[in-house]
Structure 1
Amino acid sequence: MENGAKTRIAAVGDIHIRETDKGKWVDYFKEVSAQADILVICGDLTDTGDEVEAQVLVEELKACTIPVVAVLGNHDHEKGRHKLIRQILLKEGVHMLDGEAVAIKDVGIAGVKGFGGGFDKHMLSMFGEGAMKAFVQEAVDEALHLDRALARLDAEYSVSKKIAIMHYSPIKETVIGEPEPIYPFLGSSRLSEPLNRRKVDAAFHGHAHVGKLEGETSGGVKIFNVAIPILLKSGYKYPFYLYEI
């Protein structure tokens, strides 16, 4: 790619593919392929975490002629078959990231599922019962995995642009509109620290079906909530967000 040329990223989350969706997504993925250079899917690829739904998705993705990068979401973990779902998608050429990174064209992409834990001054602390400590540790671990993936982009890939994809939100701003009592289950500010320190250009997430499309971290990293309900509410006929980098 020529220096200065832009790469078009189509970003979407929470597609919730069902067993009955055969043929439903063909036109969607054709439109994505016509408008973008890379498709990123920010979790909840399946509706109930069933491998049959993953098989439907890979059939629908045959209409997509551009590289696809994805992370899993909480729905994909529902039945404990997330490893199988991941393998089904990997076998069909989808770049499945879980603390890993990939470079496509001149864009480096790091991905994690992320986790909850709350935002800013209201983040849960690692104190009290073992179950609470385990919950917070999961968020810490996901942030560490994201940091390692971004570090790998810096060390091993010659890319001038970096984005991150996750399912849970790294900031409060893009989940505002959801009931405040569930904020700790929608994301964690711990995820924003690696984005700021590694100077990521933009990050994309889903999970919060009610919220805001755009926000930014304290370090100025652009954050986009690309859950399909958010995109539909914003007026997108084909619900994916097109970001040029």
Structure 2
Amino acid sequence: MEENQQTITRIACVGDIHVQENDQGKWRDYFKQASAAADILMLCGDLTDTGHLVEAEVLAEELKGCTIPVVAVLGNHDYERGEQRQIKKILEHAGVHVLDGESVVINNIGFAGVKGFGGGFDRFMLSMFGEKMFKDFVQEAVDESLKLDRALQHLEGNYGDIPKIVLLHYAPIKATIEGEPPEIFPFMGSSRLVEPINRRQVLAAFHGHAHVGTLEGKTSAGVPVFNVAKPILNRAGLPGFFIFEVGKVPEMTVNHEA
């Protein structure tokens, strides 16, 4: 047998599943299908519909149909009731790696995740100026970008040049929210998230949030970005999730959280 045999790891990616209180039994077959199609499942926020704890409990129960590792970030809907910490704990108790400025390594692939935030894109990005409420809005996007950078730095410092994947809920580029009304672009994501993605040589980034966006785009440095909000995947005729393949991955499996 050849040394360092090349393998392919398949990642099933989806966001905005919006699990509701009455969804018992609705998702278990879906997660079984993802387990059969992929090696890792990645959930890009808005896991619950209204941020209610019972919705998170339903999701945790449905995830028993999933037999592969699950990596996730929360979305704005998961923050709706201010119970995001409890939601995170419920999902972690179910075995989900919920990332909020942390990283995890699975199958020698590094995953770094944050929710992200709004603020606009490119030359229309909001600046730190004016009333305190505007400064606070911009600061939230800055803080999310810094958290992402620290998570990616952790992967680089501890694992070298392994492939790095970024999970977000909010978009890091404008291209993948095209189709949404331009008036709400500042609330769909922020270019501030792009800087660590470009500088840390990320393999690909994934987000949700924009239900009427575009599936694929690229950062200014050419990093692929995918909007995997479930409504977009449904319109694209995909089976409820997007499969991203990572090649040339050693057979070893390591798990470590920042």
Which residue does the alignment assign to 2:142? 140
Deviation at 1:176, TM superposition (A): 0.5
Deviation at 1:118, TM superposition (A): 0.2
AA matched with 1:88: I
* 2:203 is the alignment partner of 1:209: no
TM-score (norm 2): 0.93
Which residue does the alignment assign to 2:80? 78
- Segments of 4+ moved more than 3 angstroms: none
Q: What does the per-residue CA deviation read over 1:94-142, in whole Å, with 9 as the maximum and x for residues that have no partner? A: 0010000000011000000000000000000000000000000000000
Structure 2 spans left out of the alignment, 5+ residues? 247-258
AA matched with 2:127: S
Mapped to 1, the partners of 2:142 and 2:23 lie a distance apart of: 36
Residues 108 and 159, structure 1, Cα contact 8 Å, conserved in 2? no
Give % identity: 64
Mapped to 2, the partners of 1:158 and 1:61 lie a distance apart of: 32
Mapped to 2, the partners of 1:160 and 1:198 lie a distance apart of: 11
Which residue does the alignment assign to 1:43? 45
Matches within 5 A, 1:111-122: 111-122=113-124
AA matched with 2:33: E
TM-score (norm 1): 0.98
Q: What does the per-residue CA deviation read over 1:53-80, in whole Å, with 9 as the maximum and x for residues that have no partner? A: 0000011000000000000000000001
Which residue does the alignment assign to 2:240? 239
Structure 1 spans left out of the alignment, 5+ residues? none
Residues 106 and 159, structure 1, Cα contact 8 Å, conserved in 2? no
Which residue does the alignment assign to 1:53? 55
Match of 2:108 among 86, 106, 109: 106
Aligned length: 244
AA matched with 2:34: V
Q: What does the per-residue CA deviation read over 1:198-230, in whole Å, with 9 as the maximum and x for residues that have no partner? A: 000001000000010000000010000000010
Which residue does the alignment assign to 1:165? 167
Residues 117 and 188, structure 1, Cα contact 8 Å, conserved in 2? yes
Q: Which has the higher contact order (CA 8 A, sep 6+)?
A: 2
Match of 2:178 among 166, 176, 181: 176
AA matched with 1:214: E
Which residue does the alignment assign to 2:66? 64
| RMSD of equivalent CA atoms | 1.1
Change (3 A) 1:171 1:73: same
Deviation at 1:169, TM superposition (A): 0.2
Q: Secondary structure at the match of 1:187?
A: coil
